[in-house]
Structure formats: structure tokens, C-alpha cells
């Protein structure tokens, strides 16, 4: 027979173990003095494919004002890849988030930006600038999936993603709409610009694993050593697998 006392001991032991695990995982954000910078570019190796033209089949008066091109792989003139995510892996201590809020707009029936970074547990304000019905549908595992209509009168939907995760977002009303929400526990994460450039600032001196991810090219990992007040260059090439 299991006594009440044994159950109580088991509960206390379990909570100590899980409590310790939770503490070990939590990111400690504060002030960073004498941090360094990791900056560089993510480029496409080889002949970049042309973006496909997307046919707008619905709500053309709003959605077809601009020509739609595919966003799954956007390569600039100098082979810079736009919308790749560069982030530190396993960083436990560093700077605070500049803001606990992020914004994602649905404009011209396109997600802007295509890849939205949000602090894990922070607020994501999802705007509907189009004044037509959109539907926010997220495909996630660590966080609960969202499947909510956003009618034209609903200008803002506010959502939270408590667990770090890369989440696909789509609209069931407009099949071509697709984007990504990246919930991160720490602020050492950047989305590359139209030239494929990125910068991670105020990184405490040390050696880090850096993960580079692009939705069609997958993940790759590099090791970078950051020195106080210095800039470390990281130039990455990604190729089709
Ligand atoms: Cu839509």
C-alpha cells in the first residue's frame, strides 16, 4: 500500500526535478556590457530559381492590386537570401528583448513580414489592413494551434506563443497566403533582409552555435566565437539539398 506520506514525498521530489529543469532552461535576460556583434550574409549557392507568379483567384479587388510572387525562396541580385532566420542556439544569458510585442500585418493578401519573430510568451498583434475576411491558421506542435476567422471589422487579433517554435501560418480564405511565426525565448535572432544581411548585437563574449534556417533549404549550423566589443563575420551559403 502506498501511504499519503510516500505520495507527498514523490510529489515534492517530482516538483524539485521539474522545477530545476525549468530553471535550467529559462533564458536570463538583463544588461550586457561589452558585448560583441555577429554579422554577415546568407547567400544562395548556385543558380537561384526564379520566383513563381501566384495567381490570385479570390477577392481580386483587394488582393490583386500588386503582382504576387512566391515567397518560399527569395534570392536577390547578389544571391542574398531574404527571410532566412539566423539565431543563437542554447544561449542562456544575455540582453533583454527590446520589446515584448511584435506585429504581423495582412496587407494585399500577403503576410508582412513573411517571417515574424515574437518573444515566447510575448504578444503578437495580427493586423487586418485589407478590410476583408482573413483566417489565421497556425500549424504548431509545442504551442496550441490557432484557427480563427478575422473578419474585416476585426482590425487586430492578439495571440501569444508561450513555447519557442517555428510555426507555419496560413489563411484558409486565400490559398496562396503563407508565412512563418518564430517564437523565441531570447532576442539573439534575426531575419535576413533583401540583401541576405543580418546582425546579432550585444552578444556576451563566448563561443556559440549559430543556426541558419530557411523554409525550403532547411537548417545548417555554424560555431562562432564572439569577443568583447568586436564584430565577428559570419557568411553562410545555403544550397538546395
Ligand atoms: Cu486571407
Which CATH number belongs to the domain containing residue 79 in this structure? 2.60.40.420
Tell me the average pLDDT across 99-119: 97
| Higher local confidence (pLDDT), 15 or 163 | 163
Ligand 1 centre to CA of 100 (Å) is 26
Q: Is residue 16 part of a domain?
A: no
Confidence of residue 241 (pLDDT cuts 50, 70, 90): confident
Q: Is the pLDDT of residue 217 over 70?
A: yes
How far does residue 24's CA lie from ligand 1's centre (Å)? 40
Residue 121's region, left for phi above 0, alpha for psi from -120 to 50, else beta, is: left
Cα 108 to ligand 1 centroid, rounded to whole Å:
9
Q: What is the pLDDT of residue 14?
A: 44
Instruction: Give residue 159 CA to ligand 1 midpoint distance, Å.
Output: 17
The reply to whether 7 falls in a domain is no
Q: Do the beta carbons of residue 53 and residue 69 sit within 8 Å?
A: yes
Mean pLDDT to the nearest integer, 97-112: 97
The mean pLDDT of the chain is 91
pLDDT of residue 13: 43
Q: How far apart are the CA of 151 and the centre of ligand 1, in A?
A: 10
Going by their DSSP bridges, the two strands 134-139 and 165-170 should be labelled as: antiparallel
Average pLDDT on 184-204 reads 98
140 CA to centre of ligand 1 in angstroms = 19
Lowest mean pLDDT among 16-25, 42-51, 207-216: 16-25
Q: How many domains does the chain have?
A: 1
Whether 168 shows a pLDDT value over 80: the answer reads yes
> Residue 2: inside a domain, yes or no?
no
Average pLDDT over residues 143-158: 96
Question: Cα(137) to centroid of ligand 1, in Å?
Answer: 10
Supply the range of the domain harboring residue 101: 28-238
User: Confidence class of residue 201 from pLDDT cuts 50, 70 and 90?
Assistant: very high
Residue 134 domain flag = yes
Residue 158 pLDDT: 98
Q: Does the pLDDT at position 4 exceed 60?
A: no
Rounded to the nearest whole angstrom, what is the distance from the C-alpha of residue 177 to the centroid of ligand 1?
Answer: 6
Determine the pLDDT at residue 22. 44
pLDDT at 230 over 70: yes
Euclidean distance between CA atoms 150 and 215, whole angstroms: 26
Q: How far is the CA of 58 from the centre of ligand 1 (A)?
A: 9
What spacing in Å lies between the alpha carbon of 71 and ligand 1's midpoint? 15
pLDDT at 101 exceeding the cut of 80: yes
Ligand 1 geometric centre to CA of 218 (Å): 26
Q: What is the pLDDT of residue 77?
A: 85
Confidence of residue 15 (pLDDT cuts 50, 70, 90): very low
Q: Is residue 12 part of a domain?
A: no
Measured distance CA(77)–CA(203) in Å, rounded? 30
Q: How far apart are CA 231 and CA 36, in angstroms?
A: 6
Distance 152 CA to ligand 1 centre (A): 11
Q: 131 C-alpha vs ligand 1 centroid, how far in Å?
A: 10
pLDDT bin (cut points 50, 70, 90) of residue 25 is low
In a domain, 167, yes or no: yes
Question: Quick one: pLDDT at residue 61?
Answer: 96
Query: What is the mean predicted confidence (pLDDT) over 5-23?
Result: 45
Q: Where are the alpha helices (DSSP H) in 26-74?
A: 60-63
Does residue 142 form part of some domain?
Answer: yes
Task: Report the separation in Å between the CA atom of 217 and the middle of ligand 1, taken as the mean of its atom positions.
Answer: 26
Question: How many A from CA of 83 to the centre of ligand 1?
Answer: 20
Residue 140 lies in a domain: yes
Amino acid at each position: 500500500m502506498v501511504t499519503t506520506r510516500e505520495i507527498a514525498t514523490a510529489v515534492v521530489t517530482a516538483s524539485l526535478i521539474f522545477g530545476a529543469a525549468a530553471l535550467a532552461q529559462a533564458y536570463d535576460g538583463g544588461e550586457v556590457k561589452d558585448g560583441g556583434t555577429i554579422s554577415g550574409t546568407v547567400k544562395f549557392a548556385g543558380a537561384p530559381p526564379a520566383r513563381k507568379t501566384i495567381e490570385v483567384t479570390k477577392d481580386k479587388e483587394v488582393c490583386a492590386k500588386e503582382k504576387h510572387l512566391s515567397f518560399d525562396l527569395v534570392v536577390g541580385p547578389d544571391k542574398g537570401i531574404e527571410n532566412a532566420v539566423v539565431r543563437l542556439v542554447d544561449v542562456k544569458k544575455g540582453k533583454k528583448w527590446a520589446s515584448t510585442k511584435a506585429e504581423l500585418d495582412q496587407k494585399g493578401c500577403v503576410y508582412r513580414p513573411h517571417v515574424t519573430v515574437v518573444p515566447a510568451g510575448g504578444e503578437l498583434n495580427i493586423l487586418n489592413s485589407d478590410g476583408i475576411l482573413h483566417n489565421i491558421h497556425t500549424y504548431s506542435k509545442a504551442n496550441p494551434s490557432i484557427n480563427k476567422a478575422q473578419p474585416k471589422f476585426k482590425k487586430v487579433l492578439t495571440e501569444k506563443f508561450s513555447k519557442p517554435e517555428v510555426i507555419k501560418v496560413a489563411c484558409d480564405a486565400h490559398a496562396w497566403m503563407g508565412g512563418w511565426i518564430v517564437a523565441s525565448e531570447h532576442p539573439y535572432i534575426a531575419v535576413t533582409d533583401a540583401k541576405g544581411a543580418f546582425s546579432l548585437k550585444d552578444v556576451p563574449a563566448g563561443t556559440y552555435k549559430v543556426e541558419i534556417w530557411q523554409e525550403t533549404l532547411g537548417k545548417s549550423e555554424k560555431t562562432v566565437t564572439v569577443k568583447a566589443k568586436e564584430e565577428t563575420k559570419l557568411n553562410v551559403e545555403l544550397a538546395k539539398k
